[in-house]
């Protein structure tokens, strides 16, 4: 058995290693040790591989025990850690940890995924095994042996799912049905390719065969039992949404603040998109008169130009290769313009998203785990699902055309998520690495899209700029959509009109985003809120420093404090 990797990671810095900072660090390490033992999938996701051969107990009884332990931990922290004796850095860590514990209790009481979201069990069924082969530095034979044992826990996970699920929203059950089919395909075939073995001569064969049998039975349960009783409401309602958003963002903003700022920003970005599209008009439609300069004409101008530019796109077979080809160009620009220092060695691997993970977003970045930092980070890109009709696949590629693919890569990888999270993994605070802020991560990624073009990436290509603005207004509209769908009775048709008319999204992309808003309340607001925080901080620091301002040093300073709530940035980045 491997030694506990947690013990080899340095503690948080402290002026007095025997003082209050050290007590906090020791308390968090003890907490993680217990969490890893009780939640093996979480341990694996953090790069601790001692429990890779097993899976969590997800029964209602075990989850109730988790809640009780969290309540006790909050009481113990208040009694045993004197916040006034901590350094300011450790005070921030304690605040982050306490906030995370309180948020988990609120979710357990008001927004229980295990009762209301069948997708969560799929993460244990397939994602927890997939990661053993893609994000572990252990020898492949060890990962294969661990996977073979972990797979034997799938029947228990499915039994816990059947016991836990009540009356989830129909949309979530429908997604779970599709993803479970992907999980069946994964265990029938795909896993053997990852392991470098064949189905007839692998220690995975028996466990996978049993898993497939269980998952096929679960498919019947999802379709025949759970779907008919999936009558839950995916809307949070105004009060629950406001509280959850406050907890999710931890940015010192209310739901009313966010929607007000997002609506004003959407108006501004629409005007900027029109100004760019107007400049592209004569090249895109030579000899054709520009539409009238009124609200309808301006939107018609932007839409027509985007539609024409969208014809330059990739194919299902070439999408991932096209992303790989664009990476070197982007990285070279970052080096030449001294945007920041890129991670060395570069451990970002660009892959095609597995079928069982598709249907939620076009791409994601899965960073190297905290306790296995030499593992690969995965930039996964999703071609359209194979069962989509040809017209819908074409619409997908028009949305993620060659210009948009470059913006996507900037966001997900360089200098977006991959680079930022590599910087985050360097910070010695375990609390900031394990309990990292999604608002910080998404905000940085969106900030880099405009910043890269402002610094000259694309050599002033207006088509690229128009797509950057389209990608950004998507982030702004995400916040508006998030609020309106959960706080009012906004219909699907009204949501589609918002995204298509104001966001210039294809119908297929808009349908997917409406589905996502139903599946992930409050997460869609993180992009806009985070980007606004980074943009305002940059303006403030640059005004203060004037000619002494160095963009690369500023970026490295902004990333040097870990992936923490953005409300701390003005205090820390000076």
Whether 36 is covered by a domain: the verdict is no
Whether 393 is covered by a domain: the verdict is yes
DSSP string, 505-522: --HHHHHHHHHHHHHSTT
CB proximity list for 27: less than 8 A, separation 6 or greater: 77, 80, 81
**Cα angle 261-267-271, degrees, rounded to a multiple of 5:** 140
pLDDT digits (tens, 9 = 90+) for 97-142: 999 999 999 999 998 899 999 999 999 999 999 999 999 999 999 9
pLDDT digits (tens, 9 = 90+) for 13-61: 444 545 999 999 999 999 999 999 999 999 999 999 999 999 999 999 9
User: Domain limits at 304?
Assistant: 296-572
Whether 498 is covered by a domain: the verdict is yes
Residue with tokens 């004569």: 282
Whether 260 is covered by a domain: the verdict is no
Whether 407 is covered by a domain: the verdict is yes
Whether 542 is covered by a domain: the verdict is yes
Give which of 296, 309, 310, 301 is closest to 279, Cα–Cα: 301
CB 483 within 8 A of CB 249: no
Distance in angstroms (rounded) separating the CA atoms of residues 378 and 43: 18
Whether 484 is covered by a domain: the verdict is yes
Total domains present in the chain: 1
Strand partners, 378: 349, 366
Low-confidence ranges of the chain (pLDDT < 70): 1-18, 359-360
Whether 196 is covered by a domain: the verdict is no
Coil/strand/helix, residue 165: coil
pLDDT at 384: 83
Q: pTM score > 0.85 for this model? A: yes
């Amino acid at each position: 058995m491997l030694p506990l990797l947690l013990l080899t990671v340095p503690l948080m810095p402290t002026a007095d290693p025997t003082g209050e900072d050290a007590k906090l660090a020791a308390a968090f390490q003890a907490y993680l040790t217990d969490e890893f033992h009780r939640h093996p999938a979480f341990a694996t996701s953090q790069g601790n591989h001692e429990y890779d051969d097993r899976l969590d107990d997800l029964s209602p009884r075990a989850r109730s025990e988790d809640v009780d332990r969290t309540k006790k931990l909050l009481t113990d922290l208040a009694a045993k850690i004197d916040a006034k004796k901590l350094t300011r850095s450790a005070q921030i860590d304690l605040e982050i940890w306490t906030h995370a514990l309180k948020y988990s209790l609120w979710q357990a009481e008001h927004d229980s995924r295990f009762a209301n979201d069948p997708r969560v069990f799929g993460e244990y069924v397939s994602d927890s095994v997939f990661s053993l082969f893609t994000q572990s530095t252990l020898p492949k034979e060890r990962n294969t042996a661990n996977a073979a044992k972990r797979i034997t826990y799938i029947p228990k996970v499915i039994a816990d799912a059947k016991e836990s699920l009540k009356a989830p929203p129909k949309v979530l059950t429908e997604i779970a049905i599709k993803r479970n089919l992907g999980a069946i395909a994964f265990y029938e075939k795909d896993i053997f390719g990852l392991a470098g073995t064949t189905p007839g001569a692998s220690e995975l064969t028996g466990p996978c065969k049993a898993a497939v049998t269980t998952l096929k039975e679960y498919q019947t349960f999802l379709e025949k039992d759970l779907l008919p009783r999936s009558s839950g409401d995916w809307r949070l309602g105004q009060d629950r949404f406001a509280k959850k958003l406050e907890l999710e963002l931890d940015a010192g903003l209310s739901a009313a603040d966010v929607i007000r700022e997002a609506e004003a920003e959407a108006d501004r970005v629409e005007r900027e998109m029109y100004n760019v599209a107007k400049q592209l008009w004569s090249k895109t439609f030579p000899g054709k008169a520009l539409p009238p300069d009124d609200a309808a004409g301006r939107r018609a101008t932007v839409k027509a130009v985007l539609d024409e530019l969208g014809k330059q796109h990739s194919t299902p077979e070439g999408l991932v290769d096209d992303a790989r080809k664009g990476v070197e160009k982007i990285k070279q620009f970052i080096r030449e313009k001294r945007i920041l220092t890129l991670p060395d060695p570069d451990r970002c691997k660009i892959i095609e998203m597995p079928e069982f993970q598709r249907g939620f977003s076009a791409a994601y970045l899965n960073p190297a785990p905290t306790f296995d930092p030499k593992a690969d980070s995965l930039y996964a890109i999703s071609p359209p699902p194979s069962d989509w009709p040809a017209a819908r696949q074409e619409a997908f590629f028009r949305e993620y055309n060659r210009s948009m693919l470059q913006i996507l890569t900037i966001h997900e990888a360089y200098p977006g998520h991959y680079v930022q999270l590599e910087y985050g993994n360097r910070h010695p605070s375990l609390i900031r690495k394990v309990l990292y802020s999604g608002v910080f991560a998404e905000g940085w990624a969106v900030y880099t899209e405009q910043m890269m073009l402002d610094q000259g990436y694309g050599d002033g290509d207006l088509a690229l700029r128009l797509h950057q603005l389209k990608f950004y207004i998507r982030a702004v509209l995400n916040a508006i959509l998030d609020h309106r769908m959960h706080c009012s009775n906004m219909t699907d048709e009204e949501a589609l009109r918002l995204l298509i008319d104001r966001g210039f999204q294809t119908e297929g992309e808009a349908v997917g985003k409406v589905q996502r808003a139903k599946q992930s309340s409050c997460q869609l607001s993180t992009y806009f809120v985070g980007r606004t925080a980074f943009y305002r901080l940059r303006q403030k620091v640059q005004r203060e420093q004037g000619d002494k301002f160095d963009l690369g040093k500023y970026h490295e300073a902004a990333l040097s404090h870990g992936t923490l709530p953005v409300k701390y940035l003005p205090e820390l980045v000076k």
